[in-house]
Amino acid sequence: MGFLNNLFKKSKETKKMSNTKLAVVFYSMGGTNYEMAKWAAEGAKEAGAEVRVLKVQELAPESVIAANEGWKATVEATKDVPVATSEDLEWADAIIFSVPTRFGNMASQMKQFLDIQGGLWATGKTVNKVVSAMTSAQNPHGGQEATLLSLYTSMMHWGAIIATPGYTDPVIFGAGGNPYGTSVTVGQDGKMIEDVEAAVKHQAKRTVTVAEWVKKGNQ
């Protein structure tokens, strides 16, 4: 375990205060990714970041949402959360995405959000954003890594700098040990199975720290 101790020591060295701007962009139907987004915001604020928590535009027909109590409740719970825009991404030094796994991929609402950033991308404004992603799924092996990789694929096209958690802190093991990004299993009752709060906060702090390094190095 010696190498792990060195790894954790190295990661602790990164926890300094910052004035980094972080956009936490989420989609959530059942509330899980909204909760994770709020934890990420808390973690980033503890690291000194200025944070915007933003939802992506809902695309599902109202009739479909109305037929699902959990979905309706999430729409209500997030009604005051601003919808993310290109301006938010331009403002941000760092972006954390939180999105449910859908058939081993990101929810289409998030994909649509990425796809309407062509203008931002074409003017070079996605370059050097420090990005990281989180997800949830119903099954322990339900495609979490595939979802995160699909999002990171788009980020490579953006020229973004992907900051994954790796195994930079022991809390990652307690959260199921996903080095691609924090992921959580959600039971049929909609409740999270693993306790991922600390891992989400660690991921947020690490994203902010890496963004701070990039900002300083670019001045």
Which one of residues 21, 102, 202, 205 is an interface residue with ligand FMN (CB under 6 A)?
102
Residue 55 in contact with ligand FMN, rule: CB under 6 A: no
Residue 137 in contact with ligand FMN, rule: CB under 6 A: yes
Q: How far is CA 216 from CA 156, 202, 212, in A?
A: 22, 21, 6
- Span 139-168, contacts to ligand FMN by CB under 6 A: 139, 142-143
Separation between Cα atoms, residue 158 and residue 55, nearest integer Å: 20
Report angle CA 151, 202, 207 to the nearest 5 degrees: 50
Q: Least separation, in Å, of the C-beta of 29 and ligand FMN?
A: 4
Residue 19 in contact with ligand FMN, rule: CB under 6 A: no
Residue 200 in contact with ligand FMN, rule: CB under 6 A: no
Pairing of strands 94-102, 161-162: unpaired
Q: Which stretch binds ligand FMN (CB under 6 A): 30-38, 59-67, 170-178, 209-217?
A: 30-38
Structural contact between residues 19 and 81, judged by C-beta atoms closer than 8 angstroms = no
Q: Least separation, in Å, of the C-beta of 219 and ligand FMN?
A: 37
Q: Least separation, in Å, of the C-beta of 179 and ligand FMN?
A: 19
Secondary structure of residue 50 in the 3-state scheme: strand
Separation between Cα atoms, residue 160 and residue 180, nearest integer Å: 15
Pairing of strands 161-162, 183-185: unpaired
Name the residue nearer to ligand FMN (CB basis): 136 or 209: 136
Residue 104 in contact with ligand FMN, rule: CB under 6 A: yes
Provide the CA 88 distance to its chain's centre, in angstroms. Answer: 15
Residue 30 in contact with ligand FMN, rule: CB under 6 A: yes
Residue ranges in contact with ligand FMN by CB under 6 A: 28-33, 100-104, 136-139, 142-143, 186
